Amino acid sequence: MCSIIGYFGKENAAPIIVKGLKRMEYRGYDSVGVATESDHQIKLRKGIGKVNEVNSKIQLDILPGKVGIGHTRWATHGKVTDVNAHPHSSNSGRIAIVHNGIIENFEELKKQLKNEGYDFKSDTDSEIIANLIQKYYEKTQDIKETILKTVAKIKGHYAFVAMFENGQLAAARFHEPLIIGVGQNEFFLSSDVLGFIEYTDNVIYMENGNFVILDRDKFQIMGFDGKQAKYEIVKVSKEFCDAYKGDYAHFTLKEIYEQHETVLKAGERTLEAIEKTVQCIKQAKNIYITGSGTSYNAVLVAKQMLSRYTRIKAEPIIASEIQFIPHSIEENSIMIAISQSGESADVLEVVKIAKLAKCKTIAIVNLLTSSLARESDIVIGMNCGPEIGVAATKSFTTQLVIIYKIIQKLSDNIVDIDFAKISKLISEILKNPTKIQRIANEIKDISDIYILGRGMHYPIAIEAALKLKELTYIHAEGIPGGELKHGPLALMDSNVFVIIINPNDSTYSDMLTSAREIKVRGAKIIGISDIESDIYDFWVELPKSDEIAYPISEIIPIQLLAYYAALAKNTDPDYPRNLAKSVTVK
Ligand code: G6P
């Protein structure tokens, strides 16, 4: 999960590439590099850090030439070092590549290439692509033959762009995204349309197992069998271009504050797909729901809500666990996959397995051009706009609203949900963050925090813990309130903070009992509730709401708390260390 980009055209490549990389930094941001071709020579600069930092140190954007490639890295093979950053050049220096994904047989290939006299500078799996290309190009002097031989050798999931000293570009896709932007006398290759959307909205989504060769004003797309491949140029929506922070200090804050609007727009453009989903659920033998990270926490809410409000049973599947639970998917069932990016490799794997089992696949997804959207039978668009902050915020509440809409329809509107009221609740919570900022300062130096919730608030406790981990690096754990006495109580002392998610519903009095048990052990309590209590050391007031709206409203103050605690700790809330927004490796 890195981003790759290539440019071939009439303008200087480097500034365009740097801008595109900045937009795609969500995919990985531990190091960055650019290579360009000018006068039949490849120039390359790279270093560790984010795009702007590295660019201001070593001026990536002044490299000369109208052809170039670039990369932002999320390390998988080899530490975060300048040498391991991409692009990687081949031994001759005549070829440079950028790669996203994993080459599974790289050790074996590296050994073979070493025996043939090739040297390796980095610890990456990617460098073998550069040297394999050099090897085959020296033999054949033919780019098509070279790429065919290279892809026949490498195993794994990948997308790469190779730049040749003569200024030609070639790129291949195998289970990692690769998109061609077709402009006026210029072409872009990119992991995401965000890499080039301000220059062209004409795109080709390359099919899996295809490669492209760009040469002057033409391009040729072929399959790994060497035959011409079919393709379609489609227009993409420019709304995803709108990825600016505006007046907000960070994308994460902007995205938290957008939620009063995004809950109103959720699923708005694909209401028919929601209707179809409802029909499928009614007829399904089994219902599986899958996701990763925050989207998996939305899966947990969906399971609880479906059972509580419609008595429909659904089985949650942690996407990354699918390979260890064989025979878990029965034939002719339905698989609902929830994913913001639609590119999480684990989720795509579950969908692949579900399709093999002849299940109907339904995607709840934000990026309608993603692999998940393209591979699913029914697509519900989340419609929450670009989410750039690595920690998911507005996408989570949007996913919940879509789940609610499905439940509302399943119950023939007996479950009555007032989305306008939910939007107002969110606005109210966001109105005055001063108290939350104060609490953020209190927790900034602690090492452990626990979040307790019961019933439908338990998945929210897990999501809250994830937000706190991602943004503050504090160890955080979501616990079902009733489980306190079965272990976690042993951890409670005066060094510990506990967040109690305690709205005024059927879980309220049991949660208050848990809070008391914690209090007498000296832990500090942050109560998130619409009822004040002197048990809480800090009370975060939740506006009164209908029972069904609580899960959405109660996560908002915790998102804010995680954000402000990140600021208090001086960590970057948009780009937490070691993480990436779109995890396209398994
Ligand atoms: C990564 C991101 C998380 C996200 C998860 C699933 O881990 O850092 O924020 O929840 O992927 O992503 P998806 O795009 O499938 O929802």
Instruction: Specify the residue with its C-alpha closest to ligand 1, atom 5.
Output: 293
Same domain as 179, residue 64: yes
Cβ of 129 closer than 6 Å to ligand 1, yes or no, is no
Asked whether 113 and 132 are in contact (CB, 8 A), the reply is: yes
Cβ of residue 66 lying under 6 Å from some atom of ligand 1:
no
Could you report the per-residue pLDDT of 198-208, keeping only the tens digit for each?
899 999 999 99
Question: Angle at Cα 504 formed by Cα 518 and Cα 433, nearest 5°?
Answer: 80
- By residue range, what is the domain housing residue 327? 246-417
Task: List, in order, residues 6 or more apart from 216 with CB less than 8 Å away.
Answer: none
395, 383 contact by CB (below 8 A): no
Q: What is the CATH number of the domain that holds 329?
A: 3.40.50.10490
Instruction: Quick: pLDDT tens for 412-451.
Output: 888 989 999 999 999 999 999 999 999 999 999 999 999 9
Separation CA 373–CA 365 (nearest Å): 7
Using DSSP's 3-state secondary structure scheme, residue 536 falls into coil
Cβ(490)–Cβ(478) under 8 Å? Answer: no
Mutate to test the pocket of ligand 1, among 339, 563, 582 (most ligand atoms within 8 A of CB): 582
How many helices (H) and strands (E) the chain has is answered by 17, 24
Choose one of 348, 583, 585 to mutate for the ligand 1 pocket test, by most ligand atoms within 8 angstroms of C-beta.
Answer: 583
| Residue 39 CA, ligand 1 centroid: distance in Å | 42
The pLDDT, as a whole number, for residue 247 is 80
Amino acid at 154: I
Which of 192, 209, 235 is at the close of a domain?
A: 235
* Residues contacting residue 497 through CB under 8 Å, at least 6 positions apart: 442, 443, 446, 448, 449, 450, 523, 524, 525, 526
Question: Is 94 in contact with 134 (CB distance < 8 Å)?
Answer: yes
Domain count, the chain: 3
* Cα(292) to centroid(ligand 1), Å: 6
Structural contact between residues 547 and 521, judged by C-beta atoms closer than 8 angstroms: no
**225 and 253 assigned to the same domain:** no
Give residue 341 CA to ligand 1 midpoint distance, Å.
7
What proportion of the chain, given as a percentage, has pLDDT over 90?
85
- Distance, in Å, from the CA atom of 64 to the CA atom of 499, rounded to the nearest integer, reads 54
487 and 450 in contact (C-beta within 8 Å)? no
- Whether 384 and 530 map to the same domain: the answer is no
Question: How confident is the model at residue 242, as a pLDDT?
Answer: 56
pLDDT of 245 higher than 90: no
Q: In what order do the strands lie in the sheet with 88-89?
A: 88-89, 95-103, 156-164, 169-174, 210-215, 218-223
> Is residue 580 one of the residues assigned to a domain?
no
Atom number in ligand 1 closest to CA 392: 9
State residue 238's pLDDT score.
64
pLDDT (0 to 100) of residue 196:
94
Helix, strand or coil, per DSSP, at residue 138? helix
Average pLDDT of the segment spanning 323-343: 89
Regarding whether 443 and 341 lie in a shared domain, the answer is no
Domain membership of residue 578 (yes or no) is no
How confident is the model at residue 326, as a pLDDT? 67
Q: What is the pLDDT of residues 477-498, one digit of tens each?
A: 999 999 998 999 999 999 999 9
Segment 177-181 mean pLDDT = 94
How far is the C-alpha of 67 from the C-alpha of 74, rounded, in Å? 24
Nearest to 498 by CA among 459, 446, 556: 446
Residue 2 is a catalytic residue: yes
Closest atom of ligand 1 relative to the 372 alpha carbon: 15
Same domain, 158 and 225: yes
- Residues 407, 453, single domain; the answer is no
Task: Report whether 555 contacts 397 (CB < 8 A).
Answer: yes
Q: Does the beta carbon of 363 lie inside 6 Å of ligand 1?
A: no
Question: Taking residues 232-259, what's their average pLDDT?
Answer: 82
Any catalytic annotation for residue 581?
A: yes
- Going across the sheet that includes 334-339, the strands are 315-318, 287-291, 334-339, 360-365, 378-381
- 486 CA to middle of ligand 1, Å? 31
Ligand 1 contacts CB of residue 392 (under 6 A): yes
**Ligand 1 touching residue 222 (CB < 6 A):** no
Pocket test for ligand 1, best of 192, 295, 467 (most atoms within 8 A of CB): 295
347 Cα to the center of ligand 1, angstroms: 10
pLDDT digits (tens, 9 = 90+) for 116-138: 999 999 999 999 999 999 999 99
Select from 292, 394, 578 the residue to mutate for testing ligand 1; criterion: most ligand atoms less than 8 Å from CB: 292
Angle at 44 between CA 38 and CA 45, to 5 degrees: 135
CB atoms within 10 A of CB 36: 29
What are the contacts of 240-248 at 24+ separation with CB within 8 A? 240/193, 240/194, 240/197, 240/367, 240/385, 240/386, 241/194, 241/197, 241/198, 242/385, 242/386, 243/23, 243/194, 243/386, 243/388
Pairing of strands 95-103, 88-89: antiparallel
Rounded CA-CA distance 268/242 in Å is: 19
Same domain, 488 and 382: no
Is residue 216's pLDDT more than 80?
no
Flag whether 361 is in a domain.
yes
Q: Are residues 103 and 219 in the same domain?
A: yes
pLDDT reported for residue 331: 87
pLDDT at 75: 85
Q: Is the CB of 390 under 6 A from ligand 1?
A: yes
Give residue-wise pLDDT tens across range 102-118.
999 999 999 999 999 99
Which of 235, 256, 290 is a domain's end point?
A: 235
Q: If you take atom 1 of ligand 1, which residue's CA is the nearest one?
A: 581
Is residue 471 domain-shared with residue 370, that is, in the same domain?
A: no
pLDDT at residue 240 greater than cutoff 70: no
Residue nearest atom 4 of ligand 1, based on CA coordinates: 293
Atom nearest to 391 CA in ligand 1: 9
Distance CA 4, CA 23 (A): 11
Ligand 1 in contact with 462 (CB < 6 A)?
no
Question: What is the DSSP secondary structure assignment for residue 193, as one 8-state letter?
Answer: G
Tell me if 581 CB under 6 Å of ligand 1: yes
pLDDT score at 241? 57
Pocket residue to mutate for ligand 1, from 191, 294, 364, most atoms within 8 A of Cβ: 294
Residue 424 lies in a domain: no
Q: Which two tokens stand for residue 265?
A: 């727009």
CA distance 421 to 329: 38
Q: Which of 181-185, 335-339, 410-414 has the highest mean pLDDT?
A: 335-339
CA of 388 from ligand 1 middle (Å) equals 11
Task: Give the span between the Cα atoms of 111 and 117, in whole angstroms.
Answer: 10
Distance CA 4, CA 28 (A): 10
| Amino acid, single-letter form, for residue 169 | L
Q: Is residue 406 part of a domain?
A: yes
Q: Which two tokens stand for residue 358?
A: 């002849």
CATH number of the domain residue 25 falls in: 3.60.20.10
Average pLDDT over residues 179-196: 93
For residues 118 and 217, state if they share a domain: yes
Q: Has residue 296 been placed in a domain?
A: yes
pLDDT tens per residue, range 551-579? 999 999 999 999 999 999 999 999 898 88
Looking up tokens 């609610």, which residue turns up?
404
493 DSSP assignment: S
Cβ(278)–Cβ(406) below 8 Å: yes
Q: Please give the pLDDT value at position 580.
A: 83
Establish whether residue 96 lines the binding site of ligand 1, counting it when its CB lies within 6 angstroms of any ligand atom: no
Choose the catalytic residue: 19, 135, 519, 581. 581
The average confidence (pLDDT) of the chain is: 94
Rounded to the nearest 10°, the torsion over CA 268, 414, 407, 422 is: 60
pLDDT score recorded for residue 149: 98
- Closest C-alpha to ligand 1, atom 8: 581
Would 452 be classed as within a structural domain?
A: yes
| Mean of pLDDT values over 340-357 | 94
Residue 340 Cβ inside 6 Å of ligand 1? The answer reads yes
Residue 180 in domain: yes
Query: What's the CA-to-centroid distance between 64 and ligand 1, angstroms?
Result: 36
401 & 505 share domain: no
250 lies in the same domain as 228: no
Bridge partners of residue 25, in order along the sequence: none
Q: What is the mean pLDDT of residues 62-70?
A: 97
**Which candidate in 2, 280, 359, 384 is catalytic?**
2
Report the atom number in ligand 1 closest to the C-alpha of 291. 15
Nearest to 2 by CA among 55, 46, 62: 46
Q: Which of 235, 270, 289 finishes a domain? A: 235
